[in-house]
């Protein structure tokens, strides 16, 4: 015995076809009176427009909604930019603290200051030179001192590190002075 389609399937399909046909053949406002080929009362286009008048939005309403959305977006964008700047500054502070700590550890262990940041990488103190979050490059300004940091230090070298950025931080000081 071959099973056929269930009667519920046919009924559902007929309902869907009827709905599509009604949407296609009805007038602008979707009322059944506006069907052009029905024998019932013929409704003119102006009557149909009158019935449909309350169904849409006016231009003023749309402009108000769009202006409210624009105001909210402008506030959100400024907040987003501020949070991005604060995050970059936080990363800069952490990177500077880490590099300075590693320079001090290198100087104490090797009894000489590193001559470049690459010395920290080759000695295994850091894996890679971190990127400066303000310039997006690993170009840090190093401060070479002729003064020895430790008492038993044999060679002078890098004593401090700063950002290479010339921009001003949110606290009003240049990043290169941090």
In-domain check, residue 1: no
Residue finishing a domain among 36, 53, 70: 53
pTM more than 0.75: no
Which residue has tokens 């930019």? 81
* Same domain? 163 vs 124: yes
Confidence of residue 145 (pLDDT cuts 50, 70, 90): confident
In-domain check, residue 2: no
pLDDT at 2: 44
Domain of 45? 7-53
Q: How far are the Cα atoms of 30, 56, 88, 140, 158 from residue 162, in angstroms, in the given order?
A: 70, 61, 15, 6, 11
pLDDT digit string, tens, across residues 77-123: 999 999 999 999 999 999 999 999 999 999 888 888 898 999 999 99
In-domain check, residue 76: yes
Asked if 133 and 92 count as a contact pair (C-beta separation under 8 A), the reply is: yes
Q: Which stretch, 63-77, 130-144, 153-167, has highest mean pLDDT?
A: 63-77
pLDDT at 53: 58
pLDDT digit string, tens, across residues 72-81: 999 999 999 9
Which residue has tokens 């002729």? 146
* Same domain? 88 vs 164: yes
* Same domain? 166 vs 88: yes
* Same domain? 66 vs 107: yes
Confidence of residue 46 (pLDDT cuts 50, 70, 90): low
Residue 28 above 60 pLDDT? no
Residue 48: CB partners within 8 Å, gap ≥ 6? 27, 28, 29, 31, 33, 34
pLDDT at 100: 93
* Same domain? 110 vs 167: yes
In-domain check, residue 136: yes
* Same domain? 20 vs 82: no
* Same domain? 25 vs 46: yes
């Amino acid at each position: 015995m071959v099973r056929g389609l269930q009667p519920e399937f046919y009924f559902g399909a007929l309902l869907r076809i009827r709905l599509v046909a009604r949407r296609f053949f009805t007038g602008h406002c979707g009322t059944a009176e506006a069907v052009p080929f029905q024998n019932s009362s013929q409704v003119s286009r102006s009557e149909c427009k009158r019935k449909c008048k309350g169904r849409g939005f006016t231009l003023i309403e749309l402009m108000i909604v769009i202006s409210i959305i624009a105001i909210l977006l402008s506030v959100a964008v400024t907040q987003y930019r501020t949070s991005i700047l604060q995050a970059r500054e936080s990363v800069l502070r952490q990177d500077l603290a880490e590099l300075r700590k590693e320079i001090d550890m290198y100087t104490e262990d090797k009894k000489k200051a590193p001559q470049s940041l690459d010395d920290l990488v080759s000695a295994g103190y850091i894996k890679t030179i971190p990127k400066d979050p303000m310039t997006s490059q690993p170009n840090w300004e190093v401060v070479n001192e002729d003064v020895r940091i430790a008492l038993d230090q044999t060679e002078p070298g890098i004593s401090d590190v700063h950002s290479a950025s010339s921009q001003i931080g949110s606290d009003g000081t240049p990043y290169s002075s941090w």
